[in-house]
Amino acid sequence: MTELSTDLIVAAPADAVWDVIAHRFDRIGDWATAIPASTALPPPTTGPPPTAAPVAGRVCQTGVRLAPRVTETLIAYDEGQRTLTYRASGLPAFVTMARNTWTVSPLDPHRSRVSLRARFDTRGVLGLIGRWAILAQVRRTSRHLAEDLRHYVETGAPSPRKQRQLRRAGRHPRLAG
């Protein structure tokens, strides 16, 4: 199993950061350049929802040829601890499991730490080769993700990079709040 982790500091209260990450989980496409667009995953039609989350998950348009559309289903959600975990599907067949956990912790009344813990497994020769490609892609996109999240939470508007992407797609930036 391959594990990746990163922590970033955001100059905003933990509740404001959690609002963007959790309460608007399905709207990551509004602020993250790595996700050109996203929509809410419909709730399950039978049985109770698997978590107490505001949405069941999201469907992300990635712009990546190998996985143009990825479904991220929330599998754990804790409002009090400000942590959520989702499982990704719609990935290449050599990826057998992909899961990510986000946790928001207050550092002081005006700053927060966002911790991301990603885990994925691959299989076969393609998985061995693909693992390195995935790691390279994740390193690049996680840097942009951190910058995009900081900008969105701290200013209430998508980053300049995301705003350019939205304009090229004929969409208008959606402000935080």
Please report which confidence band the pLDDT of residue 46 belongs to, taking 50, 70 and 90 as the band edges.
Answer: confident
62 and 36 in contact (C-beta within 8 Å)? yes
User: How far apart are the C-alpha atoms of 168 and 154, rounded to whole Å?
Assistant: 24
The mean predicted confidence, pLDDT, of the chain is 90
Domains annotated for the chain, with CATH where assigned, are: 2-168 (3.30.530.20)
| pLDDT tens digits along 61-74 | 998 888 899 999 99
User: How far apart are the C-alpha atoms of 30 and 60, rounded to whole Å?
Assistant: 11
* Average pLDDT rounded to a whole number, residues 163-174: 87
- Return the closest-CA partner of residue 169 out of 57, 12, 78, 38: 38
Report residue 100 as tokens.
């990510």
Does residue 15 register a pLDDT over 80?
yes
Give, rounded to a whole angstrom, the gap between the first and last alpha carbons of the chain: 38
What are the two backbone dihedrals, phi and then psi, of residue 131, each rounded to the nearest 5 degrees?
-55, -45
| pLDDT tens digits along 94-109 | 999 999 999 999 999 9
User: How far apart are the C-alpha atoms of 39 and 126, rounded to whole Å?
Assistant: 30
Beta strands in 109-171 (DSSP E): 111-122
- Percentage of the residues of the chain whose pLDDT score is greater than 90: 65
60 and 78 in contact (C-beta within 8 Å)? no
Please report which confidence band the pLDDT of residue 177 belongs to, taking 50, 70 and 90 as the band edges.
Answer: low
CA angle 74, 78, 155 (to 5 degrees): 85
* Average pLDDT rounded to a whole number, residues 11-25: 98
| pLDDT tens digits along 80-90 | 999 999 999 99
| pLDDT tens digits along 115-156 | 999 998 888 888 777 777 777 777 777 788 999 999 999 999
Sign of the Cα pseudo-torsion (47, 73, 151, 105, in order): positive
* Average pLDDT rounded to a whole number, residues 9-38: 97
Please report which confidence band the pLDDT of residue 35 belongs to, taking 50, 70 and 90 as the band edges.
Answer: very high
- pLDDT value, residue 155: 95
